[in-house]
Amino acid sequence: MTHQLQGVLDVLTRVRGVQGAMFVARDDGLVIAETLMEGVRGKALAALAASVFGKFTWVSGTAKAGEPRFLHMQCTEGAVLVLATNQDVLVVIVTDTNTNVGLVRLEMLRAGEVFA
Amino acid sequence: MSGVRAVHPWAEKPMEMFISESGARLALLMNPTGQVFAQHGFTRAVDVMAAAALGAAIVSSTAEITKMLREPSFSMLNHQGPTHGVFLSAFESPSGPMVLLVIYGRESSLGLVHLFFEEFVNELNEANPAPVSSEPVLAADFERELNQSLASLFQD
């Protein structure tokens, strides 16, 4: 399973501009598998991304919009994308500023199917 | 006002940071014998004493298990319940071995607690003065020292 997950993440990181990809346990914020560029703190990113996703679940619930499926956090020097899979797993991606987010999202959906 | 009560002032700021960042509900900093240095979230002295004794006992018993297995000591233990998690970790400091017991709810996570625990240890070790010469605990002084510590932890 670990090899399979790593293979799926490798495919994600081949998309231009993607600097890192990881599977994160939604409830725990712990890393399941990761492929990150040097300098990105995987454990911190996993814990904080899961926490933000959890907080956003409150927001979407308050807005009566249902469960969040996809978060796009555009930052000055890149973006953080989070996608919830059917299981309690998040796909977390770090990109630079010139990434085709639509393409990355499609690849994230494909990657999430590994947990279907 | 801060919710952290500390016997030693150097423990207060790192604990405050940890509580604020991790979102922990309760936290207890102690040594492996159960002597409490700082606490957050406990309202009754009896709860602090019970939690410290139980936390110290868990650390002690797991240390014995690792000895039997000839393994290095466990770095942390976590129990995940439906609404609360219990995180327990022993670490080294300039004042000797320490133990942090943390209770967190659904607004936090093991990942967050573990992440900020590492920062807490670094900050505590920076704030912690050089080791003081430890004196043997005498039975005659034990109750007085315990009462002084509890008074520090629950003073208004």
Does the distance separating the beta carbons of B114 and A47 come in below 8 Å? Answer: yes
For residues A79-110, one letter each, b for 16 or more C-beta atoms within 10 angstroms of the residue's C-beta and e for the rest, the string is: bbbbbbbeeebbbbbbbeeebeeeebbebbee
B103 Cα to chain A: minimum distance (Å): 14
Segment B120-142, tens digit of pLDDT = 999 999 998 766 555 666 666 76
The per-residue pLDDT for A44 is: 95
Contact B24, B88 (CB under 8 A): no
A78 Cα to chain B: minimum distance (Å): 23
Segment A43-85, tens digit of pLDDT = 999 999 999 999 999 999 999 999 999 999 999 999 999 999 9
Beta bridge partners of B87: B78, B102
**Helix, strand, coil share (%) of chain B residues, nearest 5:** 45, 25, 30
ipTM above 0.85, yes or no: no
Q: Is B1 a residue whose pLDDT tops 50?
A: no
Contact A115, A34 (CB under 8 A): no
Tokens 């814990």 locate to: A47
Indicate the pTM of the whole model: 0.81
Tokens 């700082």 locate to: B38
H or E segment at B102? strand B96-104
For residues B5-15, one letter each, b for 16 or more C-beta atoms within 10 angstroms of the residue's C-beta and e for the rest, the string is: bbbeebbbebb
Q: Select the residue from B115, B117, B118, B122 to test the A interface by mutation, using most A Cβ atoms within 10 A.
A: B115
